[in-house]
């Protein structure tokens, strides 16, 4: 079978979870003897038997016209975040912090912007948020004609069914990123890159963008005397906001290790370019997780986030977000919770005091490598086999 994955135009510049998931599908399909290719337009692979589109939040009306001309069956790897739930508070959180930094209004109808109020009244972010794009509505015709919608978990499937009632969905859990094939204790390569010592730092991995909430991590750790490391590609405006916030409010060192940011230093904040300006190798990334004192990712939205799986695999505790589908992966029906053996705890993404307390409570804990959990044992071939089953090949 020949399957074409239709990606957004900038996909090859990104190395986030969505591209990781697609690469997992492709590797598994190839291992099973099938053909898989990526493209930016359906016309690039006229001989594909089935097309899978990514990033449903981008408008798909042009894509619908193209597949109609080609008479191709198609589906969606949705990455269908609950935009109605997370977008207003996420934008409100960023807006309020920007105002505290002097960007935009100096006062709100006579009320001064004070970062302390964000800690005291977390819900105030809802007053400053924006409404989400209507792209889901614009894409309805495209959605209704899909042969298959793939969700990564039951929680995402509920969002898909809400946004396109009655569509054919399949839940296919993802493989756990670099943890899929790692079998040995990681080396010390990341310590050499960062200049940090083992167990001494907080770590967040992922693109610098609003929904991943690096800004919340910065503020929640402002008074903690612990280095904070971001391994990240960038979104320019959000990058500047994070850098400025860290310089203003963080007392301990903050490192941005990046493939795309310009090397610079201001106070305790520093940007380190990745070796040879390339993304960190799997060995470097595994080393970063393994030697971190705690992994933190209080995202407003993440589907589900391979970083959570990777940190769990290497025995590093995590402060995660209550709003992410990773809870489905770790849910224990007997114990009725998703905390595994205590290595992962959850917080609301904008409740900064709660995040800070959970960091202090869990920093420095070390767990044995997680090797026997079903979510960690899942392989690329398992993912591809599930896809083929739903396509009936």
The tens digit of pLDDT for each residue in 165-199 reads 999 999 999 998 888 778 888 999 999 999 999 99
- For the domain covering 178-377, report its CATH number: 3.40.50.2000
Q: Which two tokens mark 242?
A: 């994070």
Instruction: Answer with the residue of higher pLDDT: 172 or 280.
Output: 172
Other Cβ atoms less than 10 A from the Cβ of 110: the count is 5
178, 290 contact by CB (below 8 A): no
Compute the residue count for the chain: 393
Q: Which two tokens mark 133?
A: 């794009």
pLDDT at 55 > cutoff 90: no
According to CATH, where is 3.40.50.2000 located in the chain? 2-82+134-175+379-391, 178-377
pLDDT at 15 > cutoff 60: no
Q: Which two tokens mark 159?
A: 């969002």
pLDDT band, residue 16 (cuts 50/70/90): low
CATH code matching the domain that covers 2-82+134-175+379-391, chosen among 3.55.40.20, 3.40.50.2000, 3.30.43.10, 3.40.190.10: 3.40.50.2000
194, 188 contact by CB (below 8 A): no
CA proximity to 209, closest of 93, 79, 346, 344: 93
pLDDT of residue 159: 94
Phi and psi at residue 27, to the nearest 5°: -60, -45
pLDDT at 393 > cutoff 70: no
Q: CA-CA distance, 135 to 390, in Å (whole number)?
A: 27
| Mean pLDDT of all residues belonging to the chain | 91
Average pLDDT over residues 271-284: 85
pLDDT at 365 > cutoff 90: yes
Percent of the chain with pLDDT over 90: 72
> What would the pLDDT profile of 104-146 be if each residue is shown by its tens digit?
888 899 999 999 999 999 999 999 999 998 988 999 999 999 9
pLDDT at 161 > cutoff 50: yes
pLDDT of residue 105: 84
**Least confident stretch, 22-26, 147-151, 158-162, 177-181:** 177-181
Residues in a beta bridge with 256: 230, 271
Q: CA-CA distance, 168 to 143, in Å (whole number)?
A: 10
Q: CA-CA distance, 130 to 248, in Å (whole number)?
A: 26
pLDDT of residue 17: 62
pLDDT of residue 13: 47
Average pLDDT over residues 321-337: 91
**Least confident stretch, 2-6, 8-12, 178-182, 228-232:** 8-12
> What would the pLDDT profile of 193-241 be if each residue is shown by its tens digit?
999 999 999 999 998 999 999 999 999 999 999 999 999 877 778 989 9
> What would the pLDDT profile of 249-269 be if each residue is shown by its tens digit?
999 999 999 877 788 999 999
């Amino acid at each position: 079978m020949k399957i074409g994955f239709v990606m957004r135009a900038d996909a090859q510049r990104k190395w986030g979870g969505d591209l990781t998931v697609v690469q997992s599908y492709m590797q598994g399909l190839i291992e099973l003897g099938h053909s898989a290719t990526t493209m930016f337009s359906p016309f690039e692979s006229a001989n594909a038997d089935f097309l899978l589109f990514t990033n449903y939040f981008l408008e798909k009306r042009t894509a619908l016209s193209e597949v109609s001309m080609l008479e191709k069956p198609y589906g969606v790897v949705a990455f269908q975040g609950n935009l109605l739930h997370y977008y207003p508070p996420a934008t409100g959180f960023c807006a309020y912090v920007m105002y505290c930094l002097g960007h935009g209004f100096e006062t709100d109808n006579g009320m001064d912007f004070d970062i302390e109020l964000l800690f005291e009244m977390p819900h105030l972010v809802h007053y400053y948020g924006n409404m989400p794009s209507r792209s889901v509505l614009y894409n309805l015709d495209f959605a209704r004609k899909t042969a298959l919608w793939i969700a990564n978990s039951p929680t995402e499937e509920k969002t898909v069914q809400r946004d396109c009632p009655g569509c054919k969905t399949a839940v296919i859990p993802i493989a756990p990123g670099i943890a899929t094939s790692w079998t040995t204790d990681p080396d010390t390569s990341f310590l050499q890159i960062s200049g940090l010592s083992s167990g001494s730092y907080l770590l967040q991995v992922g693109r610098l963008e609003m929904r991943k909430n690096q800004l919340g991590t910065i503020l929640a750790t402002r008074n903690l005397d612990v280095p904070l490391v971001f391994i990240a590609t960038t979104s320019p405006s959000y990058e500047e906001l994070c850098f400025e916030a860290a310089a203003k409010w963080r007392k301990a060192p903050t490192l941005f290790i990046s493939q795309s940011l310009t090397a610079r230093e201001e106070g305790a904040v520093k940007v380190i370019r990745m070796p040879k300006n390339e993304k960190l190798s799997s060995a470097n990334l595994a080393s970063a997780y393994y030697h971190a004192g705690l992994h933190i990712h209080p995202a407003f939205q993440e589907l589900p986030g391979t970083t959570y799986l990777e940190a769990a695999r290497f025995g590093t505790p995590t402060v995660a977000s209550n709003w992410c589908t990773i809870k489905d992966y770790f849910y224990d029906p007997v114990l009725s919770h998703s905390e595994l053996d205590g290595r992962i705890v959850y917080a609301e993404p904008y409740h900064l005091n709660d995040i800070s307390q959970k960091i202090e409570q869990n920093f420095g804990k070390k767990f044995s490598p997680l090797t026997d959990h079903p979510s960690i044992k899942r392989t690329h071939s398992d993912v591809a086999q599930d896809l083929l089953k739903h396509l009936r090949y």
